[in-house]
Amino acid sequence: MYTYKLQDEKPICSEKLKRLYDSVGWWPERKEIDIQKMLKNSIAIGVWKENELIGFARVVSDGVFRAYLEDVVVHESVRNKGIGEKMLTMLLEEISYIDIVSLFCGEKLITFYGQQQFQATKQIVMHRN
């Protein structure tokens, strides 16, 4: 079956996370060294099938008022099995002391995140690269 662990219980290897990102076509420009730095500054959860990382999600936070859920990813071969939902449940429990948790998602994921008690807002998202 699947093993769910927060990164402080089982460290997440940047090489395995890069492989998971690559498997779904995410972040081809990200380098393992930068992923390693990101992991040190995030609260994260990994899901393993034996020794393969098949799920990942992380939170970026100020530790009190705000947190942002980022990079929720499940390998395509194991999607629609409740892995994403369980990852979110565990990660949100870990940060239950945070006032507001936000995320960005595509329209096709609004229903999924709505089932996790997130609500769509009318705010404009702006990015600066």
Is the pLDDT score of 127 beyond 90?
Answer: no
Domain residues for the domain of 16 are 2-115
Q: Does some domain include residue 54?
A: yes
**pTM of the entire predicted model:** 0.92
Q: Does some domain include residue 122?
A: no
**The pLDDT value given to residue 19:** 97
Q: Does some domain include residue 120?
A: no
Q: Does some domain include residue 123?
A: no
Angle between helices 14-23 and 32-40 (to 10 degrees): 110
**The pLDDT value given to residue 83:** 98
Question: Comparing C-alpha atoms, which of 65, 83, 66 is closest to residue 74?
Answer: 83
* Residue that the structure tokens 């229903």 belong to: 111
What CATH number is given to the structural domain containing 59?
A: 3.40.630.30
Q: Does some domain include residue 126?
A: no
pLDDT tens sequence across 58-102: 999 999 999 999 999 999 999 999 999 999 999 999 999 999 999
Domain count across the chain: 1
Question: Are the beta carbons of 67 and 53 closer than 8 angstroms?
Answer: no
Q: Does some domain include residue 18?
A: yes
**The pLDDT value given to residue 81:** 96
Q: Does some domain include residue 60?
A: yes
Question: Comparing C-alpha atoms, which of 127, 128, 123, 58 is closest to residue 95?
Answer: 58
**The pLDDT value given to residue 15:** 97
Question: Are the beta carbons of 45 and 7 closer than 8 angstroms?
Answer: yes
Is the pLDDT score of 124 beyond 90?
Answer: no
pLDDT tens sequence across 1-58: 899 999 999 999 999 999 999 999 998 999 999 999 999 999 999 999 999 999 999 9
**The pLDDT value given to residue 129:** 87
Q: Does some domain include residue 124?
A: no
**Which residues sit opposite 75 in a β-bridge?**
none
